[in-house]
C-alpha cells in the first residue's frame, strides 16, 4: 500500500442522480487509462430517486416499475433497492485499490469504519451486523453501502442518513431487509446538519485509507459538459 496518496474531494451539493452517475463513470474511465491519477471522494445529495443494483429483485419494490411515478435507475453496483433524497450525505469514492488492498471485503469494512468513526464523533455507537453490509445505530440502519469495482477502480459507495425525510423508504424494502428499520442521525441528534458532518467524514475517510485530502472542489470545476437523461 502506498502511504499518503492525494485525495481529491469533490463537494457537489444537491444534484440529479444521473448527472453524478455519469460523472463517476468518466472518473473511473480516466483512472483506467491512467492508474496514477489521484484518488477521489465525491460528496453529494440527490433529489428523490430509487436505485436498483445489478441483481436487485423487483419484489422489494412496492410500486409499478413499468409505469413509475418516481425516478428509478438500475445501476452497476451490488445490493438491492435503495432510496436517495436530500438530507442524505452520499459518498462515491473513486479509489484505485491497487494502491491500497486488492480485497473487496477489506474495502467494504473500511467504508463501514468511516461511518462508525464519524458517528463516534457524536457519541453514537455505530454497529455492524454479521452477514449484512452497512451501519446501524440502536437497530436502525443509518448507512447503506453498495459498490462496483472494475479493474480495481471503485465507484458507487455509501449513503449516510443525516436529516432526510425517510418516508420514501416506505415504498420499498430497503436493501431487501424487512425486519430492520431505516433511521437517521437526526433521530438521536435533532439539530444535526449535513454541512457539519462533512468535514468529520472527510477526516475519517482520509485516515481509513491513508490519504491526504486536497482542497475541496466545487461543481463548477469538477463536472464536465455532461447531458442528463432520466433512464428507467
Residues annotated catalytic, as ranges: 175
Q: Where are the beta strands (DSSP E) in 95-152?
A: 135-137, 140-150
Give long-range contacts, CB 8 A cutoff, 24+ apart: 53-61.
53/77, 53/78, 53/79, 53/80, 53/81, 53/146, 54/78, 56/80, 56/81, 56/176, 57/176, 59/173, 60/172, 60/173, 60/176, 61/171, 61/172
Copy the grid coordinates of residue 214: 486536497
Q: What is the DSSP letter of 58?
A: G
Complete edge-to-edge strand list for the sheet that includes strand 211-217: 135-137, 140-150, 153-161, 88-94, 39-46, 5-15, 211-217
Q: Are 88 and 162 in contact (CB under 8 A)?
A: yes
Please compute Rg for the chain using Cα positions: 17
Amino acid at each position: 500500500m502506498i502511504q499518503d496518496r492525494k485525495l481529491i474531494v469533490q463537494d457537489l451539493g444537491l444534484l440529479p442522480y444521473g448527472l453524478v452517475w455519469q460523472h463517476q463513470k468518466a472518473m473511473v474511465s480516466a483512472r483506467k487509462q491512467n492508474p496514477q491519477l489521484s484518488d477521489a471522494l465525491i460528496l453529494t445529495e440527490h433529489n428523490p430517486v430509487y436505485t436498483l443494483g445489478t441483481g436487485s429483485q423487483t419484489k422489494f419494490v412496492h410500486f409499478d416499475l413499468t409505469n413509475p411515478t418516481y425516478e428509478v435507475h438500475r445501476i452497476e453496483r451490488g445490493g438491492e433497492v435503495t432510496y436517495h433524497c436530500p438530507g442524505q450525505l452520499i459518498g462515491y469514492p473513486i479509489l484505485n485499490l491497487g494502491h491500497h488492498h486488492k480485497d473487496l471485503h477489506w474495502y467494504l469494512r473500511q467504508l463501514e469504519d468511516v461511518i462508525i468513526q464519524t458517528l463516534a464523533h457524536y457519541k453514537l455507537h455505530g454497529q455492524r451486523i454479521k452477514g449484512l453490509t452497512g451501519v446501524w445505530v440502536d437497530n436502525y440502519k443509518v448507512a447503506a453501502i453498495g459498490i462496483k469495482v472494475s479493474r480495481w477502480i471503485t465507484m458507487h459507495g455509501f449513503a449516510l442518513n443525516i436529516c432526510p425525510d425517510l418516508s420514501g423508504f416506505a415504498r420499498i424494502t430497503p436493501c431487501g431487509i424487512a425486519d430492520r428499520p431505516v433511521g437517521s442521525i437526526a433521530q438521536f441528534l435533532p439539530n444535526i446538519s449535513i454541512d457539519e458532518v462533512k468535514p468529520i467524514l472527510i477526516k475519517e475517510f482520509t485516515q481509513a485509507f491513508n490519504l491526504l485530502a486536497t482542497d475541496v472542489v466545487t461543481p463548477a470545476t469538477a463536472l464536465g459538459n455532461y447531458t442528463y437523461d432520466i433512464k428507467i
